[in-house]
Amino acid sequence: MEFFFEVLIGGLLSGVMYALVALGFVLIYKASGVFNFAQGAMVYLAALSVVGIMEWGAPLWLAVILAFAVMTAFGIGTEKFVLRKLVNQPPIALFMATIGLTFFIEGLAPMIFGSDPRALDIGIVDEPIPYILENWNMVISKFDLVAAGVASVLVATLALFFQYTRIGRALRAVADDHQAALSIGIPLQHIWAIVWGVAGFVALVAGMMWGARNGVQFALTFTALKALPVLILGGFTSVPGAIVGGLIIGASEKLAEIYIPPVMQDLFGGNFGGIEGWFPYVLALLFLLVRPEGLFGEKHIDRV
């Protein structure tokens, strides 16, 4: 039972890391109704900016500020050169634009900062907490707990921002209908620039946490793969949904990885395992059948 709880808690903490990436998707989707394919690449760009700027001699705090400036400039540039031309176009056109953006970032970022995998030390050691290890014989990492704290603060801030600020309400209006929002005087261009900037900030936080955990390298773009089932579960438009979805996916995939393969081996023989790559997608697929809008997503009721 002790082992079960160790796996469960470890999974929940991993899920928080997925939620950090999923948040960026939610932000863009809420503001434009578009699935931002480039979010994984943005995580890579942000983390690479931090280590790249540090290699030029800047301390961590300055590198983070400058990387945030890079992400903000990127957000404004995206609005000006990509999205502005696509106002009121079908969502698929915007989606395709974000695919192009992905390849652009994946080519440009290593060109500027180099493609060598690098370490990112943010001063938090990824080691078990001795007290928990000694008293409960469970491995709970300090780093994972800090990541959980960061994600909680981020989620709370963003939820309040969307719910209670003018810009937050404007964002939701824009997501519902670009043209209608424009007609009542909502400055669409500013709104998009702001939301892409905030998504850049979320990518920076996610990039730093994932980069400190596994190193800063091209594989950071793959973090997006972990965020997709989280979004399906939590709902594409819900900030709290991202974190709840993350927790469910993280815990279930770890428990599945531990407990399903032995059962499969007993039943069919052979060597099973490595199922956490596809298990979250199967779970998300099953969830889609029951609740297509996700746990916290907005339900669309169309008049026929």
Binding site for another protein (CB under 8 A): 3, 6-7, 10-11, 14, 106-107, 110, 114-119, 121, 126-128, 133, 139, 141, 143, 210, 213-219, 221-223, 226, 253-254, 257-258, 271, 273-278
Number of neighbours of residue 163 by Cβ within 10 angstroms: 11
Q: Of 104 and 218, which has the nearer Cβ to another protein?
A: 218
The Cα 151–Cα 91 span in angstroms is 29
Cβ pair 24, 36 in contact under 8 A: yes
Give the up-direction half-sphere exposure of residue 226: CA atoms within 13 A in the CB hemisphere: 29
Q: Of 11 and 52, which has the nearer Cβ to another protein?
A: 11
Q: Contacts from 57-65 at CB under 8 Å and sequence distance 24+?
A: 60/121, 60/122, 60/123, 64/204, 64/208
The Cα 177–Cα 160 span in angstroms is 22
Q: Of 16 and 70, which has the nearer Cβ to another protein?
A: 16
Q: Of 30 and 254, which has the nearer Cβ to another protein?
A: 254
In the block, which residue shows the tokens 């079908």?
90
Q: Of 3 and 136, which has the nearer Cβ to another protein?
A: 3
Cβ pair 99, 39 in contact under 8 A: no
